[in-house]
């Protein structure tokens, strides 16, 4: 499983609701977790592997030995949000590009787990940031869309470079 880079249009298509909680879904999630670790990330959303699904995986530690911190979320919806905070983000679809994004630091999110059971998580700080970043991917929103004006200007030439280097799949 490989990771789709900006400006591949699949990143703008977002993800559709997941309805079949079957073995193939569990297999896809496992492969995404493996790819997330392999590329040194803390989160990955299905559009980043070319799949239009409301599916995301994360581990805020980025440490494959800390399985207890892994989360697989299907069909996530924010129930409540408060306290905006700025923090630095990167994204596996934008290698080497980092910048400050303002996000809610205290959130409550409902989602389905791999068994199709509804779950609710309260998340704060970095975990909340990772969840919201990955949920954006499911809406086709990218962290560069939310950069501070200063960082937007700072990464502009890097983004143009990626756009020039991009070759649409034949
Ligand atoms: Co990302």
Q: Summarize pLDDT for 71-93 with one digit per residue, the tens.
A: 999 999 999 999 999 999 999 99
| Ligand 1 centroid to residue 30 C-alpha, Å | 18
CB atoms within 10 A of CB 23: 9
- Give the integer Cα–Cα distance in Å for 137 and 130: 11
| Ligand 1 centroid to residue 39 C-alpha, Å | 12
Count of residues in the chain: 170
Q: 79-82 long-range contacts, Cβ below 8 Å, gap at least 24? A: 79/107, 79/108, 79/109, 79/110, 79/120, 80/107, 80/108, 81/106, 81/107, 81/108, 82/106, 82/107
Instruction: Give the pLDDT score at 170.
Output: 64
Largest CA distance in the chain: 45
CB atoms within 10 A of CB 148: 13
Residue-range domains of the chain with CATH: 10-165 (3.90.45.10)
Q: Summarize pLDDT for 46-74 with one digit per residue, the tens.
A: 999 999 999 999 999 999 999 999 999 99
| Ligand 1 centroid to residue 120 C-alpha, Å | 22
| Options 134, 139, 161, 163, the catalytic residue | 134
134 is catalytic: yes
| Ligand 1 centroid to residue 117 C-alpha, Å | 25
- Give the integer Cα–Cα distance in Å for 8 and 166: 8
């Amino acid at each position: 499983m490989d990771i789709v880079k900006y400006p591949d249009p699949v990143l703008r298509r977002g993800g559709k609701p997941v309805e079949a909680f079957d073995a193939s879904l569990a297999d896809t999630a496992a492969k995404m977790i493996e790819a997330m670790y392999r590329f040194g990330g803390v989160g990955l959303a299905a559009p980043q592997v070319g799949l239009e699904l409301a599916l995301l995986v994360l581990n805020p530690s980025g440490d494959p030995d800390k399985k207890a911190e892994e989360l697989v979320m299907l069909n996530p919806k924010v129930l409540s949000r408060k306290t905006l905070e700025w923090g630095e983000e990167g994204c596996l679809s934008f290698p080497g590009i980092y910048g400050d994004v303002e996000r809610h630091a205290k959130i409550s999110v409902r989602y389905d787990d791999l068994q199709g059971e509804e779950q609710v998580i309260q998340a704060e700080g970095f975990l909340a940031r990772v969840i919201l970043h990955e949920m954006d991917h499911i809406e086709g929103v990218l962290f560069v869309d939310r950069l501070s004006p200063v960082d937007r200007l700072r990464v502009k030439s890097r983004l143009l470079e990626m756009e020039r280097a991009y070759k649409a799949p034949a």
